[in-house]
Amino acid sequence: MTKHQGRHFLNIPGPSPVPDRVLRAMDMPVIDHRSAEFAELGKAVFEGCQKIFKTKGPVIVFPSSGTGAWEAAIVNTLSPGDKVLMVETGHFATLWQQMAARWGIDVDFLPGDWR
């Protein structure tokens, strides 16, 4: 068994300290996703999102990592064989290029300086 010492950090892309109030909230029992309580919470969250994003339209939450959002953006806007220009600006740009290539996108990758 691995023993951890010190405070844990969230490392995406971090490290980012996780506030105690968040850690306490994570330790609460899970709300049944079919319950009235969950429906009320969901409604409040989506209404709050409308205020945050200053919209009266629906807000869609995409339950995934950032990489999942990249993939959704690629497959919902491009088709295999489409040609795109990408600029190398750092590690994430190279990952974006690799993902697009896996989906059959013809990537013209312009080398750049990561600084």
| Residues 80-103: tens digit of each pLDDT | 999 999 999 988 889 999 999 999
Taking the alpha carbons at both ends of the chain, their separation in whole angstroms is: 40
Q: Is pTM beyond 0.85 here?
A: no
Using alpha carbons, list the distances in angstroms from residue 32 to 28, 29, 42: 12, 9, 12
Instruction: Work out the angle between the directed axes of helices 66-77 and 91-102 (0-180°, nearest 10).
Output: 50
pLDDT tens for residues 33-45? 899 999 999 999 9
Domain ranges of the chain: 9-52, 66-110
Model pLDDT, residue 14? 60
